[in-house]
Amino acid sequence: MKPAAVITGASGGIGQAVARQFAAAGYQVFCGCNSHLEEAQRLARALCEQGAQAQALQADLSDPKQAAEFAKAVQAQCGAVDVLVNNAGIAQQKLFQDITDEDWRRMMGVNLDGVFYLTRALLPGMIRKKSGRIINISSVWGVCGASCEVHYSAAKAAVAGMTKALAKEVGPSGITVNCIAPGVIRTPMLESFSEEELEQLAQQTPMGRLGTGDDIAALAVFLASSQAGFVTGQVICADGGFALS
């Protein structure tokens, strides 16, 4: 049986790239999504046409009951998962004083609570078999903060903190927990930015370009591999040096 990888937010730019690269690496891929089921299903079909095993599953992971049902559906097909990539996320630009209670709760619900709920549901299976890889997708803004994105930055910083703490707790069970903090990645999440603004961001990046979903996916596949077996509790900025500038 192929090893199983769960990728949340698989309908988005980074998530699709991660799903494709894990499928290419020989994993059975479960493509999690919430509001864009058709896109996730399209991705799963394309992967299956290429000879991979892939399936799209829908759930609002900010709801603990739906997260538990999602995990149950996955484990019914593959048993304990080998890799969990917590990638689902949303972004929003607002002045701090304009952030509503609803904005705050939705940001924390999707970007932080969902990571907690799904990890909690899938972790026992990893502990029983004493192996597993958990890869959380944070953001460079969770490392250095972003003006007009305080709630987003706070949620992503919390994901990094969760990563470090959980890595210490589950290391004795043979499980690694790492965090990728992408820089400015060219995905649909940047649709609100003008080409001029994107060019300015590229100029602020020492590598001189914006990142791609494949840049993040390649790192995720490495962290899931045996080559990264001694790497845990790390927050790795895949940002072209953006956080250094």
- pLDDT confidence of residue 194: 80
Dihedral sign of CA atoms 90, 181, 218, 62 in order:
negative
Third-level CATH fold of 4-236: Rossmann fold (3.40.50)
pLDDT band at 243 (very low <50, low <70, confident <90, very high): confident
Q: What is the rounded CA–CA span in Å between residue 193 and residue 216? A: 21
pLDDT band at 245 (very low <50, low <70, confident <90, very high): low
Over residues 31-60, the mean pLDDT reads 96
Over residues 131-155, the mean pLDDT reads 96
pLDDT of 50-74, one tens digit each? Answer: 999 999 999 999 999 999 999 999 9
Over residues 4-32, the mean pLDDT reads 97
DSSP secondary structure letters along 150-173: HHHHHHHHHHHHHHHHHHHHHGGG
pLDDT of 174-231, one tens digit each? Answer: 999 999 999 989 887 777 778 888 888 889 899 999 999 999 999 999 999 999 999 9
In the chain, the percentage of residues whose pLDDT exceeds 90 is 89
- Tokens representing residue 161 in the block: 């903190």
Tell the residue number behind the tokens 């290429």, with chain if given. 50
- Tokens representing residue 213 in the block: 């979903």
Q: What is the rounded CA–CA span in Å between residue 226 and residue 3? A: 13
75 in Cβ contact with 81 (< 8 Å): yes
Phi, psi (rounded to 5 degrees) for 85? -110, 105
C-alpha distances (whole Å) from 73 to each of 30, 34, 81, 113, 202 are 10, 15, 11, 20, 41
**Which residues lie below 8 Å from residue 47, measured CB to CB, with a gap of 6+?**
19, 20, 23, 29, 53, 54
In the chain, the percentage of residues whose pLDDT exceeds 70 is 99
- pLDDT confidence of residue 195: 87
Which of 54, 152, 158, 242 is labelled catalytic? Answer: 152
The one-character DSSP state at 60 is -
pLDDT of 192-205, one tens digit each? Answer: 778 888 888 889 89
pLDDT of 106-122, one tens digit each? Answer: 999 999 999 999 999 99
- pLDDT confidence of residue 131: 98
Query: Which residues in 59-126 belong to E strands, given as ranges?
Result: 83-86
Q: Is 117 a catalytic residue?
A: no
Whole-model pTM: value is 0.96
pLDDT band at 138 (very low <50, low <70, confident <90, very high): very high
Considering only CA atoms, which of 117, 81, 69, 56 is closest in space to residue 5? 81
**Chain mean pLDDT for the chain:** 95
Over residues 146-170, the mean pLDDT reads 97
Over residues 79-98, the mean pLDDT reads 97
Tell the residue number behind the tokens 């997260």, with chain if given. 67
- Tokens representing residue 81 in the block: 């998962």
- pLDDT confidence of residue 69: 98
* Residues comprising the chain, all counted: 245
